Chains A and B, each alone.
Chain A
Amino acid sequence: NAGVMQNPRHLVRRRGQEARLRCSPMKGHSHVYWYRQLPEEGLKFMVYLQKENIIDESGMPKERFSAEFPKEGPSILRIQQVVRGDSAAYFCASSPRGGRTEAFFGQGTRLTVV
Chain B
Amino acid sequence: AQTVTQSQPEMSVQEAETVTLSCTYDTSESDYYLFWYKQPPSRQMILVIRQEAYKQQNATENRFSVNFQKAAKSFSLKISDSQLGDAAMYFCAYRTSGAGGTSYGKLTFGQGTILTVHP
Contacts and interface: CB of A to CB of B under 8 A. Distances in A.
A69 interface: no
Nearest to A108: B43
Contacts of A103: 105, 107
Contact of A100 (B91, B98, B109, B111): B98
Give chain A's interface residue range (CB within 8 Å of chain B).
20 to 34
Given A89-B43, A107-B44, A110-B43, A99 B107 contact: no
Contact of A99 (B44, B104, B112): B104
Interface of A: 31, 33, 35, 41-45, 48, 55-56, 89, 91, 93, 95, 97-103, 105, 107-108, 110
Contacts of B97: 99-100
Given A91-B45, A105-B45, A43 B91 contact: yes
Interface of B: 4, 6, 33, 42-45, 47, 50, 91, 97-99, 103-112
A93 to B, nearest CB: 8
Contacts of B42: 107
Nearest to B35: A102
